[in-house]
């Protein structure tokens, strides 16, 4: 039998041997998840013996992480803007980068109707509904499996969001004050260069933005004026090198006052503008 301290040390070494970049962090999160303890409890109980059932489960989860299965798909949850979201292999795992998109939209969304294209786990529209006092919230995705996860998350956070299965605007009617989207934007040729955790375990449909990474921005731009109300805003997450290209796509369909917002790393991350 092992103590909590011995288990954590074992976990760190095991993940390092399997080339997990964040071995120290991931071994701790798995231990905390399995044993249902926080840091303070760990410090108090570090020399206590780990229950046999938890010991066995921890080893099993370490083996999964050693295969480069993402930590979030092992625990089944990911934090986003301080809120916990259920995730699975059917949705893109929420990223901290995407918090920039939500924070920008929150500045203008109070009392507005908001449409979230490519909603995935629902983290964007649910966060906006939870934090922004929306008049109406709708999340759209082409994947039925993704929408089931999104609905589960909305129910957990007790927010009213309508989810619609649709290939972008195909099944959408009417106009919205705000359209937000974190669409697939990685060029097809770059998919193979991604970390194993991403390319082998997250849905390619949520990553692949076609040859130049811009397909979904073009498709959204082509229909945006049919569904964005006058004086309404569009907010888009982008790849670090897509600011100019996405700006031009929006300019070409009449969107005004376009701005490119950088993330905490100083990289272009959000493009937004207004329909006059």
Sign of CA dihedral 88, 92, 96, 100: negative
Query: Domain 81-274 belongs to what topology?
Result: Rossmann fold (3.40.50)
The residues of the chain scoring below 50 in pLDDT are none
What 3-state class would DSSP assign to 103? helix
9: CB partners within 8 A, 6+ apart: none
For all residues of the chain together, what is the average pLDDT?
97
d(C-alpha 102, C-alpha 180), whole Å: 9
In what side-by-side order are the strands of the sheet with 113-117?
Answer: 162-165, 136-141, 113-117, 176-181, 228-237, 268-274, 256-262
What pLDDT score was predicted for residue 161? 98
Amino acid 31: pLDDT: 98
Residue extents of the structural domains in the chain:
4-67, 81-274
pLDDT for 1: 84
């Amino acid at each position: 039998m092992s103590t909590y301290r011995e288990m954590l040390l074992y976990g760190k070494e095991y993940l390092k041997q399997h080339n997990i970049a964040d071995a120290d962090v991931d071994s701790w999160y798995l231990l905390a998840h399995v044993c249902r303890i926080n840091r303070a409890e760990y410090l108090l109980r570090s020399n206590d013996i780990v229950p046999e059932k938890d010991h066995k489960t921890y080893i099993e989860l370490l083996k999964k992480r050693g295969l480069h299965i993402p930590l979030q798909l092992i625990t089944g949850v990911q934090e986003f803007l301080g809120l916990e979201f259920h995730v699975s292999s059917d949705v893109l795992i929420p990223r901290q980068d995407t918090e920039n998109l939500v924070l920008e939209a929150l500045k203008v969304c109070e009392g507005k109707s908001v449409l979230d294209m490519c909603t995935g786990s629902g983290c964007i529209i649910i966060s906006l509904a939870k934090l922004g006092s929306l008049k109406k919230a709708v999340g759209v995705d082409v994947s039925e499996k993704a929408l089931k996860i999104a609905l589960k998350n909305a129910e957990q956070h007790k927010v009213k969001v309508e989810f619609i299965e649709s290939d972008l605007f195909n099944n959408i009617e009417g106009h919205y004050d705000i359209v937000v989207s974190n669409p697939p934007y990685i060029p097809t040729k770059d998919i193979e260069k991604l970390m194993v955790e991403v390319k082998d375990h997250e849905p390619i449909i949520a990553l692949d933005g076609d040859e130049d990474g811009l397909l979904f921005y073009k498709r959204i731009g082509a229909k945006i004026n049919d569904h964005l109300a006058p004086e309404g805003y569009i907010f888009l997450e982008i790849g670090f090198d897509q600011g100019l290209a996405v700006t031009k796509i929006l300019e070409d369909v009449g969107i005004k006052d376009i701005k490119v917002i950088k993330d905490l790393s100083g990289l272009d991350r959000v493009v937004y503008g207004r329909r006059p």
